[in-house]
Chain A
Amino acid sequence: MTATYDCIATTTLSSAAASVTFSSISGSYTDLVVVIQATWTTSSNDMYIYMQLNSDTGSNYSTTILSGNGSSALSTRFSDRTNMNMDYSATIVYNQPTQRNINIMNYSNTTTYKTAIWRSNRAGSGTDAMVGLWRSTAAITTILFDLESGDFASGSTFSLYGIKAE
């Protein structure tokens, strides 16, 4: 039996930042897991978090969403996007930490498109289950998280883990 579930990198913001990037990701794991607990710097409104892979700005991303907002459930999707929406009801806000557990499956294979599946939660607004596709066969070496606008607040944490199958 091989021990596996390594912390590859962690970023805790000491000041507000428009984006967080994990780069030079080793291809030695099977899956990646990113855990995000973040808030937004702006006290009004709310905002989507986006994920972009290998700096690809093409319209190669899509997501399917199952979301509950406290009174109803819905499902929708985004297609041909230039990044992946990481939330729908559980958007990021000023004073309530939102949490995401993002699983990026078989991220380093160079044969298939890449699938990510995750949960996003914010107690004050809702909960989401989401799956995303990146239509590329490239191994993922860089992951960028940013926002529709504004900054992640100081204290927001982003942790990247690698899981290795035997």
Chain B
Amino acid sequence: MSPVYKLSANSVRNGRTIYGSMLAGNTAFVFPSFESIATVTVGSGGATDIEFTSIPGTYVHLQLRGFLRTTSGDQLRLTFNNSTNNYRSHYLEGTGGGVLAGSESDPRINIYAALPSAASTFSGTITDILDYANTNKTKVVRALSGWDGNGSGYVDLDSGLWNDTTAITSIKFAPSAGNFAQYSHFALYGIKAAS
């Protein structure tokens, strides 16, 4: 490769700098692979549901990171593209005293242990939606969720299926009962593959 010359204001006095790379001494730009798409923080009036719409298909996976509380209820319910069909979910739950497992079907995916109601106590809920824009695959969800209330609480591993090959462009979150409480925080991220 031909050498690369870098000129600056001092080049007249000090001469040009020669590099063997087109980076000319600069750090290579790396395209970010984890991007914030949208965020919702629930206000003082609470919220019956939270919906992310017009999700671009430019990522490989989505991740929802939630810091959540509700006025009642326990489960976080997901639906895609306003569909109420073809869902299935399973959970493995630690109650602090025992282990439970179960499954659910339509009309949504359930994520357990995502919604405490105790004052000042919020869950950590991390939900991955894999290959969400791929029109050749049905859609798979996995989640790690839980909350602790110092003597109470649950922690869960959840899996979900939307048996549909449509690209996901909207996601609605709703509590199994009551409203999302103030300060509940939903952050949707997109994860890219190497370009």
Contacts and interface: CB of A to CB of B under 8 A. Distances in A.
A67 to B, nearest CB: 8
Interface residues of B, number: 44
A116 interface: yes
B150 A111 contact: no
A9 to B, nearest CB: 18
Nearest to B124: A117
Given A4-B34, A165-B39, A115 B144 contact: no
Nearest to A114: B122
A80 B152 CA distance: 12
Main secondary structure of the interface of A (DSSP, over half): strand
A79 interface: yes
A106 B67 contact: yes
Contacts of A74: 94, 99
Interface in B67-96: 67, 92-96
A76 B98 CA distance: 7
Interface stretch (A16-24, A43-51, A131-139, A145-153): A131-139
Contacts of A77: 96-97, 148, 151, 153
Contacts of B67: 31, 105-106, 112, 115
Interface residues on A, range: 35 or more
Interface stretch (A34-42, A58-66, A89-97): A58-66
Contacts of B155: 64-66, 75, 117, 129-131
A166 B150 contact: no
A135 B121 CA distance: 9
A121 to B, nearest CB: 13
Contact of B35 (A1, A66, A106): A1
B123 interface: yes
B187 A30 contact: yes
A132 B96 CA distance: 12
A71 interface: no
Given A117-B155, A166-B38, 18 more contacts: A1-B36, A3-B32, A4-B34, A30-B39, A30-B65, A62-B153, A64-B94, A64-B148, A66-B94, A66-B156, A75-B97, A76-B96, A77-B96, A129-B156, A129-B157, A164-B36, A166-B39, A166-B187
13 contacts: A1-B190, A62-B149, A64-B148, A65-B94, A75-B94, A75-B95, A80-B150, A106-B122, A131-B113, A131-B147, A133-B121, A163-B65, A165-B189
